[in-house]
């Protein structure tokens, strides 16, 4: 199989973690005789500094002409500390979502037994958590009409949804549930919001096409509480843009580190894969960032391309590292690996090499 991947390393630790993701993808190619070609392009602060635009047209073209997009991270404190700037790194990501039609964000949240002690919740509460959040990504309040009054004393943000927008992401969620535990929870605020009432009506009607899938409903405030009290009750969560943004960040803490969580965004023209963490500028260039979220995002990419065995091999390699008690500093492991060393060992396992884990910390080859 031959596939072209657009690589948008971005800002901060983005280039470091993306380099490890590509290292693992190269290992997949070597073992499975697939061929992946890479087209590197700029986005975010890096793009602003080069072109004045957080999303140059050349980057959009690279993405549109690729089978998938791998993104690192976006953000720079230079812009965070200047709120009045009109050109900001994050604008590049919002525009990219629109340009590629990335309407469905998918965030799997799965806890690992070896990392339960890092979770702020009780280990018994989060052990065995395995859910996936389907967040609508191109509609709602984030993309609606917005503005301020002439006197600056009031402001508005409009939330709008259509049946078509709701149905297309509902299809993604119900199809996923069919391969999981066959349960979809719609998170809304239908007791207050008209858009939520449209969501509930549309999803209820749509669910009739999937009689084997259980559908239940939960107001977003209750869902936020239930995620903390009893997270294992959830299988597939379906929700709108703003609610999904909030509850997916809440659920991300279950695993114990943002560096462990991948995500994907499904589009009409191509799909994008990225870790959920930010650019973490304080760690940039120090080789201490956790690349696992990016590496697992590569696994999600392979699944989208139909390469399920190769994706499973990556997931197993990550589990093998955790079982050995090794990881980057954020995981507080028994054996601490750098970002690049973590990429090396996971790539080695994926390639089928016999790995000597204890040699990594000494800077010696991991392969016998």
**HEC profile of 227-264:** HHHCHHHCCEEEECHHHHHHHHHHHHHHHCCHHHCEEE
Query: Which of 1, 10, 39 minimizes the C-alpha distance to 274?
Result: 10
Backbone angles phi, psi at 309, to 5 degrees: -65, -40
What DSSP designation does 53 have? Answer: -
- Domains annotated for the chain, with CATH where assigned, are 1-108+264-368 (3.40.718.10), 120-255 (3.40.718.10)
Axis crossing angle, helix 14-32 with helix 339-351, rounded to the nearest 10: 10
User: Which residues, given as ranges, of the chain have pLDDT below 50?
Assistant: 363-368
What is the pLDDT, as a whole number, of residue 210? 98
Active site residue 245: yes
What is the pLDDT, as a whole number, of residue 359? 57
What is the pLDDT, as a whole number, of residue 272? 98
Q: Which of 216, 221, 269, 309 is catalytic?
A: 221
Active site residue 286: no
Q: Which of 50, 146, 249, 309 is catalytic?
A: 249
Neighbouring-strand partners of residue 71: 8
Q: Which helix (H) or strand (E) holds 124?
A: helix 123-126
For every residue of 322-341, DSSP letters joined together read: HHTTEE-GGG--SEE--HHH
CA distance 234 to 76: 35
Active site residue 221: yes
For every residue of 24-46, DSSP letters joined together read: HHHHHHHHHT-EEEEEE---THH
Kindly report the pTM of this predicted structure. Answer: 0.90
Q: Which of 11, 79, 189, 337 is catalytic?
A: 189
Q: Which of 80, 245, 287, 357 is catalytic?
A: 245
Query: Which of 110, 94, 151 minimizes the C-alpha distance to 272?
Result: 94
CA distance 313 to 306: 14
What is the pLDDT, as a whole number, of residue 163? 98
What is the pLDDT, as a whole number, of residue 362? 54
* Token digits of residue 195: 């858009």
- Write the pLDDT tens digit of every residue in 305-351: 999 999 999 999 999 999 999 999 999 999 999 999 999 999 999 99
Active site residue 42: no
Count CB neighbours of 163 within 10 A. 13
What is the pLDDT, as a whole number, of residue 82? 73
Q: Which of 142, 182, 287, 356 is catalytic?
A: 142
Active site residue 61: no
What is the pLDDT, as a whole number, of residue 358? 59
């Amino acid at each position: 199989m031959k596939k072209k991947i657009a690589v948008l390393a971005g800002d901060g630790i983005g280039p470091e973690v993306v380099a490890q993701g590509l290292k693992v993808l190269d290992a997949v190619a070597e073992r499975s005789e697939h061929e992946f070609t890479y087209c590197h392009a700029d986005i975010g602060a890096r793009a602003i500094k080069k072109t004045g635009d957080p999303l140059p047209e050349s980057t959009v073209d690279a993405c549109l002409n690729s089978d998938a997009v791998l993104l690192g991270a976006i953000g720079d404190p230079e812009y965070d500390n200047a709120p009045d700037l009109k050109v900001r790194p994050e604008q590049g990501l919002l525009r990219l979502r629109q340009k590629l039609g990335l309407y469905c964000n998918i965030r799997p949240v799965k806890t690992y037994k070896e990392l339960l002690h890092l979770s702020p919740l009780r280990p018994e509460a989060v052990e065995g958590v395995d859910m996936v959040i389907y967040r609508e990504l191109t509609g709602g309040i984030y993309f609606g009409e917005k503005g301020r009054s002439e006197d600056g004393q009031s402001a508005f943000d409009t939330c709008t949804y259509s049946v078509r927008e709701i149905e297309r992401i509902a299809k993604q969620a119900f199809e996923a549930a069919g391969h999981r535990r066959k349960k979809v929870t719609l998170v809304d605020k239908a007791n207050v919001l008209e858009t939520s009432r449209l969501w509930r009506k549309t999803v209820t009607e749509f669910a009739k096409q999937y009689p084997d899938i259980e559908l239940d409903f939960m107001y977003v405030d209750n869902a936020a509480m239930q995620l903390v009290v009893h997270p294992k009750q959830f299988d597939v969560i379906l929700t709108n843009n703003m609610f999904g943004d909030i509850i997916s960040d809440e659920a991300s803490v279950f695993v114990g580190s943002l560096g462990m969580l991948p995500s994907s965004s499904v589009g009409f023209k191509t799909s994008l894969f990225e870790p959920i963490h930010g650019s973490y500028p304080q760690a940039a260039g120090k080789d201490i960032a956790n690349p696992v979220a990016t590496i697992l995002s590569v696994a999600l990419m392979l699944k989208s391309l139909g390469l399920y065995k190769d994706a499973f091999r990556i997931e197993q390699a990550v589990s093998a590292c955790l079982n050995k008690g090794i990881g980057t500093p954020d995981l507080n492991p028994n054996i601490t690996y750098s970002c690049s060393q973590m990429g090396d060992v996971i790539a080695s396992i994926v390639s089928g090499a016999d790995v000597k884990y204890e040699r990594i910390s000494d800077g010696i080859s991991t392969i016998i």
